[in-house]
Amino acid sequence: MKEQINKMSKILFSASLIGWIIIGVLLFNVVNVDASNSNDANIYKKLKLFSEALFNVRQNYVEELDVDDLIDSAIKGMLDEVDPHTTYFTPDEYDKFSTDTKGEFGGLGISIDKKGEYITVVAPIEGTPAYRLGIMAGDKISKVDGESVVGVSTDESISKMRGKPGTKVMISIIRPGVKEELDFEIVREIIKIHSIPYSFKLDNGIGYMRIRQFNANTTSDMREKLDELEEEGIRGLVIDLRFNPGGLLREAINTVNEFIGKGKLVVFTKGRAPQTNMEYLTRYNRIRDDYPVIVLINGGSASASEIFAGSMQDWDRGLVVGQTSFGKGSVQRLFPLSDGNGIKITTAKYYIKSGRCIHKDLNDKLLKDERVKNGDISKEEIEEMQEEAEEKNHENIYYTNNGREVYGGGGITPDIEIEQSLLTDLGVELRRKNIFFNFSVDYLLDHEDKITLDYNASDKDINNLLKFAKTKEIEFEQAQADSVNEWLQNELTSNIIGRKFGEVERYKIILREDSQLQETLDIFEKYSTLEEMYQYAEEVKLKKEKMQDKE
């Protein structure tokens, strides 16, 4: 017994000695980074204190402990003191994170973000299982296969949701405005991210381009799509960046290049370390015709999509409309650590040409706020905090290349704010239970030969749809259905057309009921140049300010 104790003591002593050697190396590196920093003088003492605590807990705790788990927890606890985007990866997590960046995986088709204790859907990806079943932006994921993911890390939650294509997963969500938890059984598919899923000329002569995210093919895809649209003779272009979570910085810069030419500053980064301070200029002798461009954004537009929208605004090459973007303007760099571990660290922040910082600090504060994590803060309180941040944001005035006023301090504020209409309770239920999709499958079996591109759902079709919905235990009053009759007709039409002619044709029909887009297209009908649109935006802004003064 005595020999075992002595053996254990020797092992612990050896481990401690190795730890001190590592600490010495770390201390040497720290001192050489910035010997003048007074905080560095205390690092040695604190590392010694940590080593002592680890040694005593490991040797004296009542039960045997796993040192790896203790140290992993200590590192994660340390990172709790910084922003939510700085993350430690164990070897398995690091390997999975690296694999996920390849752009293809078996999953559900949702972009997510950690908001408080909940993994929250930022946007469903068009054409994926989650999108078809009606998963919506703002849905909070509470369980995966019956197991709670509240408080679980984003990476761990992702690992639970992803799996082999063809396998099933049950996710439970909490949806704002819906009392009961909603369950969705989803069959995993290979998720291939197409950067520009939709690009076509609308009936009014305006080009429409939806950029889902900025990946390695975005610039080449955009060039090809723009060439096609210009050959068709468009008189203007809408670039839809709603719910675009971002992606590769260089692709955002190169796509802006298409509209402003070579040698123009798009974005620069500023951090504490000198090597993080960089400028990014356009590199190619490419510039498109001077047709008016409107960039459409919302609260789900983040990171690279904000750089694109803000840069088009800064260089006076596009009118930005919609709702203020998310405000993800921090730069993360991935550092490999020993034994296959890794760490993703926020090293700088993004600033666009006008000098505006994209990053919205309130987002980070809310993510770290214990009241949010514990559900001790109301939605109204959060909205009030966001409104105050937006007002403060408007105190920071910057100027575009031609001297127009724009705001800085968090997200991209649109030149013209346009709200999006929301689904009714009946609409939510019909989508959640996949009524349109399931009905259209059966409908097409009996009517496929009669369906042409100009098909429009009849009153009889809508009544049959509602009867089908009732068989799936969806309860509603006829008045509820009557109030959304046009929406029902459009949704059913788009599903049936989509089943026969494909996703693009389905999407074109969906856009008919897209209130944000329709108001955007109205601007093209009233004004033919960007200069006229900017003047209109200024008039809208002044009118809004006068109304606020009266209040």
- Cα separation, 282 vs 250, in Å, equals 9
> Which of the listed CATH numbers 3.30.460.20, 1.10.3330.10, 3.90.226.10, 3.90.550.10 matches domain 198-331+347-417?
3.90.226.10
> Which positions are annotated as active-site residues?
303, 314, 328
Q: Residues 418-424: contacts with CB within 8 Å, 24+ apart?
A: 418/321, 418/322, 418/323, 418/515, 418/516, 418/519, 418/520, 419/323, 419/515, 419/516, 420/298, 420/323, 420/514, 420/515, 420/516, 421/515, 423/136, 424/480, 424/483, 424/484
Architecture in CATH for domain 104-192:
Roll (2.30)
Domain ranges of the chain: 2-65, 104-192, 198-331+347-417, 425-513
CB 361, CB 390: distance < 8 Å: no
343 and 289 Cβ atoms separated by less than 8 Å: no
**128-166 residues labelled b (16+ CB within 10 A) or e (exposed):** bbbbbbbbbbbbbbbbbeeeebbebeebebbbbbbbeee
**pTM of the full structure:** 0.74
- How high is the pLDDT of residue 20? 45
* Ordered per-residue pLDDT tens for the chain, 551 residues: 444 444 444 444 444 444 444 444 444 444 444 444 556 668 888 888 888 998 899 899 999 988 888 888 888 888 888 888 888 888 887 776 665 445 456 789 887 877 778 888 866 777 788 888 888 777 889 999 999 999 888 878 888 898 888 899 999 999 876 778 999 999 999 877 678 999 999 999 999 999 999 988 899 999 999 999 999 999 999 999 999 999 889 999 999 999 999 999 999 999 999 999 999 999 999 899 889 999 999 999 999 999 999 999 999 999 999 999 999 988 888 889 988 889 999 999 999 999 999 998 887 777 777 777 677 777 788 778 877 777 777 788 999 999 999 998 789 999 999 998 888 889 988 988 878 878 887 888 888 888 999 999 999 999 999 999 999 889 999 999 999 999 999 999 998 998 788 778 989 999 999 999 999 999 999 999 999 999 999 999 998 888 777 76
DSSP-derived secondary structure letter, 247: B
Phi-psi group of 351: left, alpha or beta (phi > 0 → left; psi -120 to 50 → alpha; rest → beta): beta
From 352, 332, 463, 353, select the one nearest 410 (Cα to Cα).
352
| Contact criterion met (CB below 8 Å) for 121 and 106 | no
**Angstrom distance (rounded) from CA 424 to CA 325:** 24
Scan for tokens 């290979």, then name that residue: 190
Radius of gyration of the chain (CA): 27
Confidence at residue 156, expressed as pLDDT on a 0 to 100 scale: 85
Does residue 417 contact residue 322 with C-beta atoms inside 8 Å? Answer: yes
Burial of 214 (0-12, 13-18, 19+ CB in 10 A): buried
* Cβ–Cβ < 8 Å for 516, 322: yes
CA distance linking residue 211 with residue 219, whole number of Å: 11
Task: Return the pLDDT at 4.
Answer: 45
